[in-house]
């Protein structure tokens, strides 16, 4: 590492709040599916900003669209209409089949809005203010107080208690555990279609259909968190579309803006007509022209560049390659995931393997202490997968002591 890069790292440690254990690298630029640090070292990126930079770096059409919007107008507030927000909402409705859109600045904010939507929906039904939401164990929905309250990891919640009240937890893919938590106060059931931080667990079709039937029977809102698994990550624009089970409310963010901070929560017309109204919810920056110009261009490029088809093809190849790694190494217990959202579960902490891979020019990230998560740009090729697997194998050899390790 050069003295210049070390100096920047040292200055960051003096200036930034210590809420991240950062890797010892300063990235300066990106190109395609590669990142470059300040010293010019090249890295294959299988993190994509935590499932954000779906189109890769330096997509010329994307960059030009943002530059064009910057030269027009960046912000006006939601007291006024703006064309990019209108066009982005129309595009989101078309690809999701939902009816109403509220733009936010992040995924956590989208979850906050979904929670408020559910509580208001319940209130308008019966006038009560003690409604409950059922969320899933091992889930992750964000760090704000509402999103943290429905995050099924006690370790994340405990230092900040009391959380918002009336949250119950069930088990993903265990319909009976959900039924056990339902009361006459239940207003919503919330879960990730594919759990990310919780270990790359996809919801099963049986579970999805079972939750949909429960919600229909009891007039409960089905809320799906598609922040990480949505926007093409599993080979469909949204992961729930694989099952044909439509939610009442859904959240999206991350790849929605491909780097520009933007999220959204969407709902059906029924929910929109019986929940949030003027004065119930708001945001200063949400839906600003710059962020919405990014959304418009991202959706256009997904369709123009056949991103979903690439995810299906390369995702299947990635699964095959990771299954081969799992079969060859005793320290790898299993592979889980869907599309280009995959994980390898190890019998030990994976930090040293990730560090060894970074030394060799591969950027990886964990999901919990014992899982390596693979969430690359959605435009990667099979050759990139081969390159990644070669470095991964060499890194496992180094840390775990070969195939029998």
Opening angle at CA 24, ends 105 and 35, nearest 5: 60
Question: Which range of residues forms the domain containing residue 31?
Answer: 3-55+306-400
How deeply is 42 buried, as exposed, middle or buried, from its count of CB atoms within 10 A (0-12, 13-18, 19+)?
exposed
Give the Cα separation of 268 and 250 in Å (integer).
Answer: 9
Question: Within this chain, do residues 41 and 122 fall inside the same structural domain, yes or no?
Answer: no
Number of domains in the chain: 2
Same domain, 300 and 265: yes
Which CB contacts under 8 angstroms, 24+ apart, belong to 276-279? Answer: 276/102, 276/113, 276/116, 276/117, 276/120
Q: Are residues 21 and 102 in the same domain?
A: no
pLDDT higher than threshold 90 for residue 1: no
CATH of the domain at 325: 3.90.1150.10
384 and 244, same structural domain? Answer: no
pLDDT digits (tens, 9 = 90+) for 291-300: 999 999 999 9
pLDDT, tens digit, 9 for 90 and up, residues 105-162: 999 999 999 999 999 999 999 999 999 999 999 999 999 999 999 999 999 999 999 9
**Same domain as 65, residue 207:** yes
pLDDT digits (tens, 9 = 90+) for 347-384: 999 999 999 999 999 999 999 899 999 999 999 999 99
Last residue of a domain, one of 304, 337, 354: 304
Among the candidates 260, 280, 304, a domain finishes at 304
- Does 405 reside within a domain? no
pLDDT at 402: 67
Residue 111 main-chain phi, psi, to 5 deg: -65, -40
DSSP labels for 349-401? --HHHHHHHHHTTEE-EESSTTEEEE---TT--HHHHHHHHHHHHHHHHHHH-
What percentage of the chain carries pLDDT values higher than 70? 99
Last residue of a domain, one of 278, 304, 330: 304
Whether 323 and 274 map to the same domain: the answer is: no
How far apart (Å, rounded) are the C-alpha atoms in residues 167 and 55? 37
Asked if the model's pLDDT at residue 403 lies above 90, the reply is no
User: Do 65 and 133 lie in a common domain?
Assistant: yes
The pLDDT, as a whole number, for residue 405 is 58
Considering the domain architecture, whether residues 239 and 350 belong to the same structural domain is answered as no
Indicate which CATH number applies to the domain containing 156.
3.40.640.10
Whether residue 279 is found in the same domain as residue 324: no
Q: Is the pLDDT of residue 404 over 80?
A: no
Q: Does residue 201 share a domain with residue 72?
A: yes
d(CA 372, CA 351): 9
Q: What is the pLDDT of residues 302-358, one digit of tens each?
A: 999 999 999 999 999 999 999 999 999 999 999 999 999 999 999 999 999 999 999
CB 335 within 8 A of CB 326: yes
Q: Are residues 44 and 71 in the same domain?
A: no
* 250-273 confidence digits (pLDDT tens): 999 999 999 999 999 999 999 999
């Amino acid at each position: 590492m050069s003295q210049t890069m070390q100096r920047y790292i040292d200055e960051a440690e003096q200036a930034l709040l210590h809420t991240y254990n950062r890797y010892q690298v300063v990235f300066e630029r990106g190109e395609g599916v590669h990142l470059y640090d300040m010293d010019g070292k090249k890295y294959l990126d299988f993190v994509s900003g935590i499932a954000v930079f779906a189109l890769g770096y330096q997509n010329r059409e994307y960059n030009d669209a943002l530059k064009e919007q910057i030269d027009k107008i960046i912000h006006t507030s939601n007291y006024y209409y703006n064309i990019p927000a209108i066009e982005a909402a129309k595009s989101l409705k078309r690809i999701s089949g939902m009816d109403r859109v509220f733009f936010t600045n992040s995924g956590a904010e989208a979850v906050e809005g979904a929670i408020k939507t559910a509580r208001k929906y319940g209130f308008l039904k019966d006038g009560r203010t003690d409604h409950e939401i059922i969320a899933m164990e091992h889930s992750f929905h964000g760090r704000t107080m509402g999103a943290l309250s429905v995050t099924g990891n006690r370790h994340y919640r405990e230092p900040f208690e009391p959380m918002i009240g009336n949250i119950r937890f069930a088990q993903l893919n265990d319909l009976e555990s959900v039924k056990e938590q339902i009361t006459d106060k239940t207003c919503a059931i919330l879960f990730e279609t594919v759990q990310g931080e919780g270990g790359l667990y996809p919801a099963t079709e049986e579970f999805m259909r079972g939750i949909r039937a429960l919600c229909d029977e009891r007039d409960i809102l089905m809320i799906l968190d598609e922040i990480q698994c949505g926007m093409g990550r599993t080979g469909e624009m949204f992961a729930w579309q694989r099952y044909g089970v439509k939610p009442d409310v859904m959240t999206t963010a991350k790849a929605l803006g491909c780097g520009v901070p933007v999220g959204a929560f969407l709902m059906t017309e029924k929910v929109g007509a019986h929940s949030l109204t003027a004065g119930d919810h708001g945001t200063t920056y949400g839906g600003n022209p710059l962020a919405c110009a990014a959304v418009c261009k991202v959706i256009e490029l997904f369709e123009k560049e056949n991103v979903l088809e690439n995810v299906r093809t390369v995702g299947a190849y990635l699964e095959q390659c990771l299954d081969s790694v799992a079969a060859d190494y005793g320290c790898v217990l299993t592979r889980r995931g869907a599309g280009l959202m995959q994980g390898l579960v190890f019998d030990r902490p994976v930090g040293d393997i990730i560090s060894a891979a970074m030394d060799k020019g591969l950027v990886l990230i964990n999901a919990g202490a014992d899982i390596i998560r693979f969430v690359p740009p959605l435009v990667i090729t099979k050759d990139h997968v081969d390159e990644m697997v070669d470095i991964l194998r060499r890194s496992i050899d180094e840390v775990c002591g070969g195939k029998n390790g």
